[in-house]
A and B are shown apart, each in its own frame.
Chain A
Amino acid sequence: MTVLLEMRGIGKSFPGVRALDQVNLTVEAGEIHAICGENGAGKSTLMKVLSGVYPAGSYEGEIRYDGAVLENRSIRDSEAKGIIIIHQELALVPLLSIAENLFIGNEIARRGVINWQAAFKKTEGLLKKVGLNEAPGTQVGKLGVGKQQLIEIAKALAKDVRLLILDEPTAALQENDSQKLLDLMLELKAHGVTQIIISHKLNEISRVADRITVIRDGSTVSTIDRAEISEDRIIRDMVGRDMAHRYPDRVPNPGETLLEVEGWNVWHPEQKDRQTIHNAAFHVRKGEIVGIAGLMGTGRTELAMSLFGRSYGRGHRGKVRMNGREVDVTTVDKAIAAGVSYVTEDRKALGLILEEPILKNISLANLAGIAMRGVLDKRREAKVAEEYRKALAIRTPGVQQKVLNLSGGNQQKVVLSKWLFTDPQVLILDEPTRGIDVGAKYEIYTIMNDLAAQGRGVVMISSEMPELLGMCDRIYVMNEGRIVGELSRAEATQERIMAMILKTTGRAA
């Protein structure tokens, strides 16, 4: 076997973060190579280095491709050499036809005039190759996600692909669509197309991959040959790090049950027959920190947001109780009144008004708390903001500063202040430490502990397992829209959580 791609000693830094460090990857011609790792391990960054999203010079190390040094200045460069990446979020234009999509930026044209006859003819050939039986003039938006994924592959084939990179290609697919896709991968392999697949789904990987490279914390851990592939081995390599961070001490003192969710079902907001949350049930006690573990896209955020005033999904069904009494959480203000707060994972888009000062952001969810008969008391507003600034140590020259100018950690504290001012009994924190530096993380953890000590219930959704293990009294594990397990602090280990996820993937039906 000849080596098609060799990445040696790849390193890549972002301000404050070392995303990749000494990554090595060797891909042989004609193989399917899988890359595994936790969320944030650096898989996608590595693929962006390879495909020219990060141009040569912005990273360290050397890439050799097809016997020569590869120095991409842009995605166009890498595509010209036959390296094509299909991202998790599909890059199709839904209102255009299949044929138009296949040749976007790569039109069959003479002097800017497209030869539609040739394009349609070629489209038919490509669709046959990927096993799609659709007319070339069909609008892409009218096809399902599975078929769209196949069109992405056809688009890659239209560009004479030699190395095809698939970033979590089956994440959004139903079981039979996934199988079709995997079959197609094997068929392409038979035609000599080398492929790299990024996936969490070990059953899929073991089905198609010839070799697996495991990446953890931005470095290569191991490369495993097909013969040695086992789920245990991969899990150990994926999560085998030491507890790098420290967590503030706390003596858990859980009280009575505060929030109770039972038989919670939610459907996708647009695809009516797709159920995103299946029969979820969980509870939170006073003074307890409860974690929800799971990979991205398994429905953790959807679960939280659907509970919080039906901010996600449709067809909600199930019961929500607070302190034993059923409560109405059908709108956000009712949920807030019931004592529930949700701190979003996307604080810039969903949590803050960036152009407004800190004090206006803090009062936003509880304007009644600073007003008399609808008239704002601005002194009180400033006072409240000042109190939270001190209590949560928001580092800013003053509460009149626009939140735009704050660091991630301080922005997160502003969002937390906003919700604390609604005096919630239960706080659902969605990825509360995402995009925050280590020092600020510790502060956020301390705040969470304080909240629990005050007798509030805290729900923590996180993709970082060490953080869940370090902070939570109990952990629920979610996978594919279901809560698939519950672990006490004593029982919980990264291996157990991973095993719960991997063993239920594609098997719960």
Chain B
Amino acid sequence: MAEGKGQKTNLGAHLGGHLRENGMLVALVAIVFFFTLVVRVSIDVDFLSAQNITNLFLQNSYVIIMALGMLLVIVAGHIDLSVGSVAAFTGAVAATLTVTLGWPVLAVIPTVLVVGGLIGAAQGYWVAYWRIPSFIVTLAGMLVFRGLTLWLLGGQNIGPFPKSFQSLSTGFIPDLFMVGKPNVTAILVVTLAALILIFLAWRSRQCDAEFGIEQEPMGLFVARSMVIAAALIFVGYKLASFRGLPNVVVVLTILTVLYAFFTENTTTGRRIYALGGNEKAAKLSGINTNRLVFLCFINMGVLASLAGMIVTARLNSATPKAGTGFELDVIAAVFIGGASMTGGSGKIIGVVVGALIMGVMNNGMSILGIGIDYQQVIKGLVLLAAVIFDVYNKNK
């Protein structure tokens, strides 16, 4: 390679400068390897079995979905503690509409999303236009919507749901080619996704080159792209050989791409980062900061209601206890993913990786039979370590 020697010296410097972005990805891969090894050795189970990978996504989809919205809220310099209660409440609303009132599923889903948006608006209004700290408003929301969930359900579980509603969580994309196993559609879709990903990365790299923007060394670029593509195809193959692509994974992927695009490539997305980075400067640049905060909370409410429906569908009943503690998992995922507490920074892809790290650890430790006591301690320490790593990097 022509770059030969120069590249080697660059590599170290580049890794030093971008430790964070690559660090979390490396951590995720390392954690997966660790559990694969330990699970195999200690209880002779395949951690990366098709079934477990499917489970991993089904178990963690709601965290990832809410983390997408939470990232925006946190980037804007706020926090939303109410998402667990809101998910429970909207789940209860969905159950009441579907099971008790017998609404068709296609009417229930948009209705519940609107309810979520209204809840977000109700909270965001006080934060954005009255300047009441979001911590307090959403702490109140956390109590209010938990209470309303209990009231709506009358302390009972409501279920079961019709098949069509359950498929929100437990459904799979049907195989269009009818080959049987492995599921050809799944393999095709995932391979295509991997190719598109590589293409996009390559194009943005070309764009950087055009403007003399500092580039990632070629070797690292190739290595990283290969690893990501390989991981994607591996996961796709595994899913294909089980029951195919879960609906949730498709929804998740679409949302992730959508939000990544929104945060990085739209004016509104950019303005949210500006608002979190320096609200006064943003305001003096003609940005309607209050409205943006309001919109972030509405968006969070909508995503919380989507997550609420998915959880409800998965459990096949709305329960008063659903979603307890979700807010902490979601917020932890955002911070592990590299968002800053003070706002203004954080990436969608980082958040997804952060949520996956949490998810893989939950899943791995459960398989190993580690008690909930130790699990909490370990998760807490991982969160702390990730943020210390961040701060250390910044001060260096």
Query: Is B18 interfacial (CB-CB < 8 Å)?
Result: no
Please name 22 pairs of A and B residues whose Cβ atoms are closer than 8 Å in the assembled complex, sorted by A. Answer: A332-B283, A332-B287, A342-B284, A350-B280, A350-B281, A353-B277, A353-B278, A353-B281, A353-B344, A355-B277, A355-B344, A363-B270, A368-B267, A371-B267, A374-B266, A375-B266, A376-B267, A379-B211, A382-B207, A382-B210, A382-B213, A386-B211
Give chain B nearest CB distance to A405 CB in angstroms. 12
A354 to B274: give the CA distance in the assembly, Å.
10
Query: Is A147 interfacial (CB-CB < 8 Å)?
Result: no
Query: Is A12 interfacial (CB-CB < 8 Å)?
Result: no
Closest to B285 in A: A365
Give chain B nearest CB distance to A422 CB in angstroms. 8
Query: Is A440 interfacial (CB-CB < 8 Å)?
Result: no
Within 8 A of A (CB), among B257-311: 264-268, 270-271, 273-274, 277-278, 280-288
| Given A355-B277, A367-B271, A400-B213, residue A336 in contact with residue B286 (CB < 8 A) | yes
Given A333-B287, A363-B270, A398-B212, 19 more contacts at CB 8 Å?
Answer: A311-B284, A331-B286, A333-B288, A349-B278, A350-B281, A351-B281, A353-B278, A353-B281, A355-B345, A360-B270, A364-B281, A364-B285, A365-B285, A367-B267, A367-B270, A375-B266, A376-B267, A382-B207, A382-B211
A356/B273 in contact, CB under 8 A: yes
Query: Is B214 interfacial (CB-CB < 8 Å)?
Result: yes
Query: Is A170 interfacial (CB-CB < 8 Å)?
Result: no
Give chain B nearest CB distance to A440 CB in angstroms. 21
Q: Which chain A residues border B288 with CB–CB below 8 Å?
A: 331, 333
Q: Which chain B residues border A349 with CB–CB below 8 Å?
A: 278, 280-281
A356 to B288: give the CA distance in the assembly, Å.
19
Within 8 A of B (CB), among A353-394: 353-356, 360, 363-365, 367-368, 371, 374-376, 378-379, 382-383, 386
Closest to B273 in A: A356
Q: Which chain A residues border B267 with CB–CB below 8 Å?
A: 367-368, 371, 374-376
Query: Is A352 interfacial (CB-CB < 8 Å)?
Result: yes
For the complex of A and B, the 9 pairs showing the least CB-CB separation, nearest first, are A333-B286, A353-B277, A365-B285, A382-B211, A367-B267, A332-B286, A353-B278, A364-B285, A336-B286
| Given A398-B212, A400-B214, residue A332 in contact with residue B285 (CB < 8 A) | yes
Q: Which chain A residues border B285 with CB–CB below 8 Å?
A: 332, 364-365, 418
Query: Is A309 interfacial (CB-CB < 8 Å)?
Result: yes
A375/B265 in contact, CB under 8 A: yes
Interface size on B, residues (CB 8 A): 28
Give chain B nearest CB distance to A87 CB in angstroms. 24
A376/B286 in contact, CB under 8 A: no
Q: Which chain A residues border B344 with CB–CB below 8 Å?
A: 353, 355-356
Give chain A nearest CB distance to B268 CB in angstroms. 6
Query: Is A24 interfacial (CB-CB < 8 Å)?
Result: no
Closest to B261 in A: A375
A368 to B277: give the CA distance in the assembly, Å.
20
Q: Which chain A residues border B277 with CB–CB below 8 Å?
A: 353-356
Closest to A377 in B: B265
Within 8 A of B (CB), among A297-352: 308-309, 311, 331-333, 335-336, 342, 344, 349-352
A398/B213 in contact, CB under 8 A: yes
A375 to B266: give the CA distance in the assembly, Å.
4
Q: Which A residues form the contact surface with B (CB < 8 A)?
A: 308-309, 311, 331-333, 335-336, 342, 344, 349-356, 360, 363-365, 367-368, 371, 374-376, 378-379, 382-383, 386, 398-400, 418
Closest to B283 in A: A332
Closest to B265 in A: A376
B270/A311 in contact, CB under 8 A: no
A354 to B211: give the CA distance in the assembly, Å.
22
Give chain A nearest CB distance to B56 CB in angstroms. 33
Give chain A nearest CB distance to B16 CB in angstroms. 16
CB 8 Å contact bits of B151-194 with A (1 = contact, 0 = none): 00000000000000000000000000000000000000000000
A351/B284 in contact, CB under 8 A: yes
A354 to B210: give the CA distance in the assembly, Å.
25
A355 to B282: give the CA distance in the assembly, Å.
13
A315 to B264: give the CA distance in the assembly, Å.
39
Closest to B280 in A: A350
Question: Which of B207, B214, B264, B285 has the largest number of chain A CB atoms within 10 A?
Answer: B285
Give chain A nearest CB distance to B216 CB in angstroms. 13
A111 to B210: give the CA distance in the assembly, Å.
70
Within 8 A of A (CB), among B190-243: 207, 210-214
Contact for A352 among B213, B214, B278, CB less than 8 A: B278
Give chain A nearest CB distance to B149 CB in angstroms. 36
Q: Which chain A residues border B213 with CB–CB below 8 Å?
A: 382, 398-400
B286/A352 in contact, CB under 8 A: no
Contact for A376 among B270, B281, B282, B345, CB less than 8 A: B270
B268/A374 in contact, CB under 8 A: yes
A65 to B344: give the CA distance in the assembly, Å.
51
| Given A367-B270, A368-B267, residue A332 in contact with residue B281 (CB < 8 A) | no
Closest to B267 in A: A367
A351 to B259: give the CA distance in the assembly, Å.
28
A323 to B264: give the CA distance in the assembly, Å.
38
Give chain A nearest CB distance to B391 CB in angstroms. 14
B283/A311 in contact, CB under 8 A: yes
A364 to B284: give the CA distance in the assembly, Å.
10
Closest to A370 in B: B267
A378 to B286: give the CA distance in the assembly, Å.
20
Question: Which of A335, A352, A364, A383 has the largest number of chain B CB atoms within 10 A?
Answer: A364
